Amino acid sequence: MDSKYPIGKFQFDGEITNSVTKVWINEIEELPSLLRAAVKDLDNEQLDTPYRSGGWTVRQVIHHLADSHMNAYVRFKLALTEEKPVIKPYDESEWAELSDYKLPIDISLSLLEAMHKRWTNLLRSLNPADMEKTFIHPDSGEVSIGKNIGIYAWHGRHHLSHITSLCSRKSW
């Protein structure tokens, strides 16, 4: 198994249909509870263990998910309310070195729970025309809302798998 991409990189070449996005939205909705369950018995030493050599610690992954998904939520709202907005990328590796990434994980888990409730409510309200709206990412180009739902469903599963595969390898 590839410890950097345990579920592979995001790939979807099919048509982004209502049924496809429903599955993705459900995955986004379920992520906070799956994360909480995955880390509920971990102590501080385990939380401060990298999921792979040169990778982030479990604690950093949890805080990264909160930061990344907050940014995604804002990007969705920008794409829904502006014409092809250019979004601001951020240096996630630099963010992972800031002091708030040393805080207890419950802060970011609670933030994810609340934000994912708002986010999935918003996503479930979208119509087919909304799914076609886009934003411009300076590094990856134009991204549709429909595709971005899939990217973030994958993103949550990707990082959850970092944690669960580490726990499995360590027999935690």
Structure tokens belonging to residue 172: 């935690």
- The domain total for the chain is 1
pLDDT exceeds 80 at position 1: no
What residue has token string 């708002």?
A: 118
Give residue 51's identity as a one-letter amino acid code. Y
User: In whole angstroms, what is the distance from residue 32 CA to residue 37 CA?
Assistant: 9
Is residue 4 in some structural domain? no
Query: Is residue 9 situated within a structural domain?
Result: no
In a domain, 129, yes or no: yes
Q: Is residue 3 part of a domain?
A: no
Burial classification of residue 132, based on how many CB atoms lie within 10 Å of its CB (0-12 exposed, 13-18 middle, 19 or more buried) = exposed
Which residues are registered as beta bridge partners of 142? 136
Separation of alpha carbons 132 and 111, rounded Å:
28
Which residue, chain included where needed, has tokens 């390898």? Answer: 169
Residue 63 sits in a domain whose CATH number is 1.20.120.450
Residue 156 is assigned to a structural domain of this protein: yes
* Residue 13 within a domain: no
| pTM, entire model | 0.96
> What are the two backbone dihedrals, phi and then psi, of residue 79, each rounded to the nearest 5 degrees?
-65, -30
User: What pLDDT, on a 0 to 100 scale, did the predictor assign at position 13?
Assistant: 86
What percent of the chain has a predicted confidence (pLDDT) above 70? 99
Segments forming the whole domain that contains residue 115: 18-170
Average pLDDT rounded to a whole number, residues 37-66: 97
